[in-house]
Amino acid sequence: MLARCRHLFLITTAMALIPGAAQAFCGFYVGKADASLFNDASQVVLVRDGDRTVVTMSNDYKGELTDFALVVPVPSVITKDQIHIGDRKYIERLDAYSAPRLVEYHDPDPCAAVAFARSREAKMAAAPAAVGRDLQERASALGVTVEAKYTVGEYDILILSAKESAGLETWLRESGYRIPPKASAALAPYIRQDMKFFVAKVNLKNQKATGFSYLRPIQIAYESPKFMLPIKLGMANARGPQDLVVYALTRRGRVESTNYRTIMMPTGMDVPVFVKGEFSSFYKSVFERMHEKENSRAILTEYVWNMGWCDPCAADPLTHEELRQLGVFWLDEGTAGSAPGPRGARFGGAVPVTLTRLHVRYDASHFPEDLMFQETGDGQNFQARYVLRHAFQGSLQCPQAEPYRASLDARHQAEARTLSDLTGWQLASIHQKMGKDAPGPEQPWYKRIWR
Amino acid sequence: MRFFPAHLYARDPRLLQIFFLGSFLAAGFIGLGFQLPLWQPPLIIATALGAQWSLTRFTRAPPAGFLSPLISALGLSLLLRTDVVWIPVLTAIAAIASKFLIRVRGKHVFNPTNFGLALAMLVTPHAWCSPSQWGENGALIAWIAILGLAVSHRAFRSDVSLAFLASWLALKGGRVLYLGQKLPVLAHQFSSGSLILFAFFMISDPKTTPDSRAGRVLYAAMVAGFAFYLQHGLWKQNALIWSLFLLSPLVPLIDRIFKAPPYHWPTERTASCLPAVVTSS
């Protein structure tokens, strides 16, 4: 019977539902204005194979372009060829493909089972940023070396190295930036590790020429044994916890953190059908509850899947061209096998690319260190998926109808309890929202004895 | 009624070790949310005990009981992660076989759990360790438990564990100070269940550490130093496991320099199988 049920809709949630989705990532924004320079949410794509890494940083900066700048620690001096300005539509595609999803099933007529059709739907949000000004040769007096200077796309980029953090902070301050008060302490460990700083600002003229109303993602390709994301700088100017979604694209298997507990989101539960109308707030609550349950210290895995397919598909798998744009560099090595076509290969054709979507909400007290990662050999797929089951709506006039009706009440009861466990919402308000699906009062146990 | 009669664990500290490891495995499933398939520990334990029995018969070695293979199996269950069913089996067999096959002057060279893990990770990408799976709370409980045991029982006060932890703390603490990081960073780096298992159940294995105290302290410091280099110099994952694996072959050499009689478990010469279950007195 169940086999005949088909899901009718697939609803996904994406960055749009992350509270206060604003901007940010592994670096920090150094702004000259006070307003809206706080990092609340960001998306990073980490493509990694061996020591080779391509990182794409997307943000949602909404302030004045002249006020924006970005500082990211990088393992070595980055040449102009290693920098590329990406297109945020590819990150949107990744998000849509991997977003937590709601699948919907309709009970068949218990009297005459009917198969249903299926369709799907998806949505999301994301963004980019940056700004510009010039450097001075006071730098050397402060122990700051301007290793390189480029203009790429709408960004003026500097690669800096520094001898000590106070000098770097002073240099940035003297160059006109309002540095967060904790910047020096946050910069110091990177300087001690001999890391460089990638500083990007918007070149207003070039930005105008692009014709985009937003800033495009910056992509950097480099080689380093360090598989990590520097998040400490991002905390320096953040008001509270920040959300970061990491899309890791690797050749072999799932990516997890080696220095923070990485766990899977709860998945596969049946929830009341009204959740369809408020999936965003539902998933937000599920995430928050898991985050609290893990004492605000864990990284939550939302999706792990081979890029060749999906089931159900929130969006088609990314094509080779889209993956290449995101920096997946090993697709041309002849090991690709069947490439997903423009529509994607939904039910087969594994490709040597696994996507792991990690969602972390971090703050300075619970995440004292940068995020370190490893690629495991784990090839098991995972998705954060929640299920709606609609009761049959037609008239029921057959002997099978009675047990079906009886089972519905128990099912609704269980769905309400599951929803309450997942989200922390009150059972009473859940029952209210369930409307006509609300389960009746629970029968006393003795009524079930002599039916 | 005493759950663990003193005369029993005083006779063989491995019983207490088994209790500790078993408790954490159970806690991992019940409360700590280890994402580990339920079938894996029983499979590893059964394979390890089976391998011990078969190899004892096959090599005609004097029966050494099943406590040590049980400890190895519990250690593997806590540390090994895989998505392929045959890997736990082969890892457990390799771990136990290493005790019988890789020996120098009557003493096995590798800690079985360490050997099994290292070999599995070397030969297949489908084996890995998840060093942060315990979470901070799990690690904190484990620290409290293990330090409590160390205070109350000498079996958990091994000089190797202490020398290793002191070296590791000095190196890690030195790095945190050098980088200008704050103390919570150091605390976070120590909140790892894998570190506890390594310090108290892997490097401390009296059968595979040098015979003399001076040798053991030297060895522990070398393992810590090399692991530190692997982790922060070469950015390798699972640095502790690789360090112990690569330095274990030095133990026979250290034994030649610092001579002392080899270690025997308290029950080793008398017990020919699992000690009989002792009821409380």
In chain B, residues 16-45 whose CB comes closer than 8 Å to chain A: 33, 35
Residue A140, pLDDT above cutoff 90: no
Please state whether beta strands A371-375 and A228-229 pair in parallel, antiparallel, or not at all (unpaired): antiparallel
Predicted local distance difference test score (pLDDT) of residue A112: 65
Beta carbons within 8 Å of A163's beta carbon, 6+ residues apart: A143, A144, A191
- Residue A126 is predicted with a pLDDT of 28
Edge-to-edge strand order for the sheet containing A255-257?
A228-229, A371-375, A255-257
Structure tokens at B273: 């199988």
Q: What percent of chain B has pLDDT over 90?
A: 54
Do the beta carbons of residue A365 and residue A250 sit within 8 Å? no
Residues of A in contact with B137 (CB under 8 A): 295
Quickly list DSSP for A109-164.
Answer: PSSS------------------------GGGGGGTEEEEEEEEETTEEEEEEEES-
Over 80: is that where the pLDDT of A133 sits?
no
In contact, B42 and B34? CB cutoff 8 Å? no
CA distance A408 to B258: 76
Convert the pLDDT of each residue in A315-347 to its tens digit. Answer: 889 999 999 999 999 988 754 444 444 444 444
To probe the interface with A, which of B188, B194, B236 has the most A CB atoms within 10 Å? B188
Give the other-Cβ count within 10 Å of A169's Cβ.
23
Contacts of A169 (CB under 8 A, 6+ apart): A179, A183, A184, A187
Q: Which chain B residues are Cβ-neighbours of A379 within 8 angstroms?
A: 83, 126
pLDDT digits (tens, 9 = 90+) for B70-96: 999 999 999 999 999 999 999 999 999
Chain B: nearest CA to A210, how far in angstroms?
A: 40
For A50, the closest chain B residue by CA position comes to: B236
Calpha distance B113→A364 (Å, rounded): 36
Coil/strand/helix, residue A371: strand
Q: Do A376 and B188 touch (CB under 8 A)?
A: no
Asked whether the CA dihedral A280, A283, A284, A285 is positive or negative, the reply is positive
Contact (CB, 8 A) for A71 and A199 = yes
Task: State pLDDT tens for residues A44-74.
Answer: 999 999 999 999 998 777 777 777 778 889 9
| Residue environment code for A425-447, b if the CB has 16+ CB neighbours within 10 A, otherwise e | beeeebbebbeebbbeeeeeeee
Beta partners for A305?
A: A355
In this complex, the residue of B83, B134, B185 whose CB is nearest that of residue A379 is B83
Those residues whose C-beta lies under 8 Å from the C-beta of residue B250, and which sit 6 or more positions away, are B219, B222
Q: How far is A376 from chain B (nearest CA, A)?
A: 6
Q: Give the tens place of pLDDT for each residue, B7-20.
A: 555 567 788 889 88
Per residue, what are the HEC states of chain B?
Answer: CCCCCHHHHHHCCHHHHHHHHHHHHHHHHHCCCCCCCCCHHHHHHHHHHHHHHHHHHHHCCCCCCCHHHHHHHHHHHHHEEECCCHHHHHHHHHHHHHHHHCEECCEECCCHHHHHHHHHHHHCCCEEECCCCCHHHHHHHHHHHHHHHHHHCHHHCCHHHHHHHHHHHHHHHHHHHHHCCCHHHHHHHHCCHHHHHHHHHHCCCCCCCCCCHHHHHHHHHHHHHHHHHHHHHCCCCCHHHHHHHHHHHHHHHHHHHCCCCCCCCCCCCCCCCCCCCCCCC
The answer to whether A185 contacts B180, with C-beta atoms less than 8 Å apart, is: yes
Give the helix, strand, coil percentages of chain A, each rounded to 5. Answer: 30, 25, 45
A232 or B256, higher pLDDT: B256
Determine the distance in angstroms separating the CA of A377 from the nearest CA of chain B, rounded to an integer. 4
**Length of chain B, please?**
281
- Exposed (0-12), middle (13-18) or buried (19+): which is A70, by Cβ within 10 Å? buried
- Per-residue model confidence (pLDDT) at position B168: 97
Contacts of A83 (CB under 8 A, 6+ apart): A150, A152, A157, A218, A219, A220, A221
Q: Which of A258, A261, A368 sits opposite B185 (nearest CB)?
A: A368
Residue A136: per-residue pLDDT: 53
B146: nearest Cα among B67, B204, B188: B204
Lowest mean pLDDT among A299-303, A336-340, B66-70, B254-258: A336-340
Residue B32: closest CA among chain A residues belongs to which residue? A294
Are B132 and A260 in contact (CB < 8 Å)?
A: yes
pLDDT tens figures, B147-200: 877 777 776 778 899 999 999 999 999 999 999 898 999 999 998 888 998 998
What length is written for chain A? 451
**Among the partner residues A226, A298, A377, nearest to B135 by beta-carbon distance:** A298
DSSP-derived 3-state class of residue A54:
strand
Report angle CA A290, A262, A356 to the nearest 5 degrees.
105
Closest approach of B151 to chain A, Cα-based (Å):
28
What 3-state DSSP class applies to A233? helix
Q: Respond yes or no on whether the N-terminal peptide bond of residue A217 is cis (omega within 30° of 0).
A: no
- Cα separation, B75 vs B200, whole angstroms: 11
CB atoms within 10 A of CB A115: 11
Q: How far is A189 from chain B (nearest CA, A)?
A: 5
Q: What amino acid is encoded at B78 in this protein?
A: L
- B225 Rama sector, left if φ>0, alpha if ψ -120 to 50, beta otherwise: alpha
Q: How far is CA B245 from the centre of its chain?
A: 12
| Residue A350, pLDDT score | 80
Tell me, rounded to whole angstroms, the distance of Cα A207 from its chain centroid. Answer: 26
Cβ contacts (< 8 Å) between A260 and chain B: which residues?
A: 132
Q: Which residue of A has its CA nearest to B120?
A: A377
Higher pLDDT, B280 or B224: B224
How confident is residue B64, by pLDDT bands cut at 50, 70 and 90? confident
Query: Which distant-in-sequence residues (6+ apart) come within 8 Å of A438 by Cβ?
Result: A412, A416, A431, A432
Chain A contact residues (CB < 8 Å to B): 165, 185, 188-189, 192-193, 224-227, 252-253, 256-264, 294-295, 297-298, 365, 368-369, 374, 376-380
The whole-number pLDDT of residue B112 equals 95
- The chain B residue lying nearest A264, using CA atoms, is B35
Q: Please, which residues have CB within 8 angstroms of residue A395's CB and are 6 or more apart in sequence?
A: none
Q: What would the mean pLDDT of A126-139 be, rounded to a whole number?
A: 45
Question: Which helix (H) or strand (E) covers residue A196, if one does?
Answer: strand A196-202
Q: Cβ contact (<8 Å) for A368 and B184?
A: yes
Mean pLDDT of chain B: 85
Q: B84: nearest CA in chain A?
A: A378
Question: Is A225 in Cβ contact with B133 (below 8 Å)?
Answer: no
Closest residue in A to B176 (Cα–Cα): A189
Mean pLDDT of the region B248-270: 79
ipTM: 0.86
**Residue of chain B minimizing CA distance to A252:** B125
Best residue in A362, A365, A376 to probe B by mutation, most B CBs within 10 Å?
A: A376
b or e along A344-368 (b: 16 or more beta carbons within 10 Å of the residue's beta carbon)? bbeeebbbbbbbbbbbbbbebebbb
Q: Name the phi and psi angles at A449, rounded to 5.
A: -80, -55
Of A226, A261, A368, Cβ closest to residue B182: A368
